[in-house]
Chain A
Amino acid sequence: MTGVGKLIRLILRRDRVIMPIWVLVFGLLPAGYYSSFQGLFPTDAERIQYATVSADNAGFVALYGLLKGDSFAVLTNWRAGFVPVMIGLVALLTVIRHTRVDEEAGRTELIGSTVTGRHAPLAAALITTVGACTVLGLLTFAVMAGQSGSTSGSLAFGAELAASGWIFAAVAAITAQLTSSARAARSIAIVALGVSYALRVGGDISALGTGGLSWLSWVSPLGWVTRIFPYGPLNWWPVVLSVLLSVVAVGVAVYLRGLRDLGDGLFAARLGRASAAASLSTPLALAWRLHRGLLVGWTVGLGLLGLIFGGVGGSVLDIAQDNKGLTDIFARLGGSSQLVNSYFAGTAGIVGLIAACYAVQATLRLRDEETTGHAEAVLATSVSRFAWAGSHLLFSLLGPALALFAEGLVSGLVSTSGNFGDILGGVLLQLPAVWVLASVAVLLFGVLPRWSLVAWAAPAACLLILLVGETLQLSQWLLDLSPFTHIPHLPGGDFSATPVITLIAVAVVVGAVGLVGLRRRNIPD
């Protein structure tokens, strides 16, 4: 364990910009929700009505979790129900970045040759990440205690956010031991986060209806933390469970680290073929080899999401039938007149955003290929830059289409309410917006290659606009920045070809500029 202090300082130095940003943004976001709710609902009656409606809305419950109560503090905590997912994501990325990424790049070896213990890098990564999440929680505690006046509730709220970070930091500590590739370690950890989110959604939606599957939430760490209900029926058990899980997971990670050598994964690599199959002879065949894992993973993942979203669609109808007033209220809240339609239109937007993340990830594979030197090897053969980029882009454009199709197909098939064609259509309609985000990544890669990773800011901004846009009453031009704002809301809304064609045109132009930039620039840059 010697050298941990030095490594911690190194991590803090390397993350000196990004870490304070996420700690501040996520730590202060609840306070932002609180004041915007105060602005939105000047009277008690309005606030209580909003709470009543939201508590039964399956789409809202899917996104944010169960709502128990109607005070400003309760609403704030509920509205921040997606924040634990984001914190979990950041925490796992941070841990992998400072463990397996370094190890794969050989930096750990460099450090290991100075005086550091075998467990020091893992310990340093965990201490900084867990520390940052704790600071984040304390920040939320401080500002919420001031705003809500409830000390114990705000402490629990802070613990909720901090614990989601602790758990996924610990999960990442395990996955970082499993494979020798950082990308695989990251993917496994993200899948764990996704499964845990999906389980929570399933359990919570079920709790809205008959409750037969509500235990699903209790198998998911994200389900635990959203069941603390800091300002409602406060329950500290999930915090205890989270701490226990984190400690056990860290123990497992340390044990696994002890079993393996530096640079290795636990899953040993096997021998493969001595010569290439006859089909592996074009840039497209190579792109298929490099993208097929992503394609299968995202398609199956979105298909599963379709199972949840579609399955929930039925209970939306039940709720609507139970509550005659609901339909009117939703019409007034700006949704479509039909509850089921508005639910599916809403989930289509979420699914579109998720598919956009896939599109950006697949596009940025080009940059990975460049920085690793693979591009240089391929482009020194008689493959043109367009053929090389084009074969990757085929997957970043059509891959999300397939994944969206899987989601729409499954949710349309399992849904007992709503029209199959409309549901599938509403999901596929997200594609032009997805392509716009992919084209932004192409533009950066072609013109400002060193800034390629900034392409992630686009889906992040769209998510932020989706999450806080209406609550914070952002002005329209800000909302309009997200291509998803322009997609016709189907089913239920009016279809219009103009925005679809415009978005496709934007994607084509932006992408073309990127490709021209790629043709003219140095490789590698």
Chain B
Amino acid sequence: MTEAIEAEGLIKRFGKVSALDGLDLSVETGEVHGFLGPNGAGKTTTIRILLGLMRHDGGKVSLLGGDPWSSATALHRRLAYVPGDVTLWPNLTGGEVIDLLGRLRGGLDPSRKDELLERFQLDPRKKGRTYSKGNRQKVALVAALASDVELLVLDEPTSGLDPLMEEVFREVILQEKRRGDRTVLLSSHILAEVEALCDRLTIIREGRTVETGTLDQMRHLTRTSIQAELTGPPDGLATMAGVHDLRTDNGKVRFDVDTDALEPALQTLVKVGVRSLVSQPPSLEELFLRQYQKDELPKAELPKAELPKDVR
């Protein structure tokens, strides 16, 4: 598969602030790629570099096979962008903005536009200054989605949408996905959205890529929580690779275990003898929270472990 976006070791500094610090991002043609990270992680900055609005200070980047800085105008014919913070010209109507942006990009499909206006329930006759935040977002979305382009770059496109419109957005993106030739880079804070739409995702933190891969691969990285009552002492469990945060209390054990180490851990338990067992499946939220945490402390020292005092 060819790569629609390829960034390697991307570095961007604003004065002394280092916004990107060796970021890697690779988006394959035809996929919907989630782009996640805590506030200030560098998502918008990365996107602006990809659009040739900002110049990177180091590393390599290519977009649709070209250099986003030097061939910006040619590349921009092939993509559409929805900024994170949509502002409209106060004296242009939403419909005018949609048409204008579409034409500046090289044309848009009028029937597709009407269909999208209908689906997003947007009145295009209002002046820019009278739209609510969500409706401004819809204007930018319709303008981007109505263009027949290879790549959609969406920076938190649903941040102002109500749940109903968020659902419409998902349907539209899934439709695009079925066409197979459109690539979408979707920066988002909404996990359910990412889970529903994205083939692969990249998580960044403080300007660096911390995780990238498919959702299934990521699930692999999560840990299952186990609680068990045992008939004997859990010998060997504490030293086992992949077992974290082990606590024992009157024959009861609690621990988290990496997905890879689940099988040997369970076998150890069975050898000792199990009276009862509760297992909690890995959740994406947990993964994200873990990746988002600023410090790289092991999970055992996170607040969660401090709660059940009575267990000890």
Contact = CB atoms under 8 A, between A and B. Distances in A.
A274 B93 contact: yes
A522 B55 contact: yes
A395 B93 CA distance: 22
B55 A520 contact: yes
Nearest to B74: A382
A288 B10 CA distance: 39
B90 interface: yes
Nearest to A272: B93
Nearest to B12: A522
Interface string A276-310: 10001111001001100000000000000000000
Contacts of B92: 272, 289
Interface string B260-295: 000000000000000000000000000000000000
Interface residues of B, number: 41
Nearest to B83: A376
B251 to A, nearest CB: 55
A376 B83 CA distance: 8
A382 B76 contact: yes
Contacts of B123: 271
Contact of A380 (B76, B95, B129): B76
B103 A376 contact: no
Contact of A382 (B85, B90, B95, B105): B105
Contacts of B103: 276, 280-282
A269 B130 contact: yes
Given A373-B85, A380-B51, A273 B125 contact: yes
Nearest to B75: A382
Contacts of B86: 373, 377
B300 interface: no
B91 interface: yes
B87 A374 contact: yes
Interface in A372-387: 372-374, 376-384
Given A372-B87, A373-B86, A382-B73, A274 B51 contact: no
A381 B51 CA distance: 9
Interface string B95-109: 110111101111000
A377 B73 contact: no
Interface centre among A382, A384, A522 (most CB of B within 10 A): A382
Contact of B124 (A274, A374, A523): A274
A181 B87 CA distance: 14
A372 B90 CA distance: 11
B72 A384 contact: yes
A289 B93 CA distance: 12
Nearest to A104: B129
A290 B88 CA distance: 12
A113 interface: no
Contacts of A523: 48, 53-54
A interface SS class: loop
B104 A283 contact: yes
Interface in B59-99: 72-74, 76-77, 79, 81, 83, 85-93, 95-96, 98-99
Interface string A440-453: 00000000000000
Contact of B53 (A274, A281, A374, A380): A380
Contacts of A286: 100
B126 interface: yes
A180 interface: yes
A330 B292 CA distance: 78
B201 interface: no
Interface in A413-468: none
Contacts of B83: 373, 376-377, 380
A275 interface: yes
Contact of A273 (B48, B79, B96): B96
B53 A379 contact: yes
Nearest to A264: B130
A175 B120 CA distance: 36
B105 A269 contact: no
Interface of A: 180-181, 269-276, 280-283, 286, 289-290, 372-374, 376-384, 520, 522-524
18 contacts: A269-B126, A271-B127, A276-B98, A276-B103, A286-B100, A289-B92, A290-B91, A373-B86, A374-B88, A374-B89, A376-B53, A376-B83, A381-B104, A383-B73, A384-B73, A522-B48, A522-B54, A524-B53
Interface of B: 48, 51, 53-55, 72-74, 76-77, 79, 81, 83, 85-93, 95-96, 98-101, 103-106, 123-127, 129-130, 140, 153
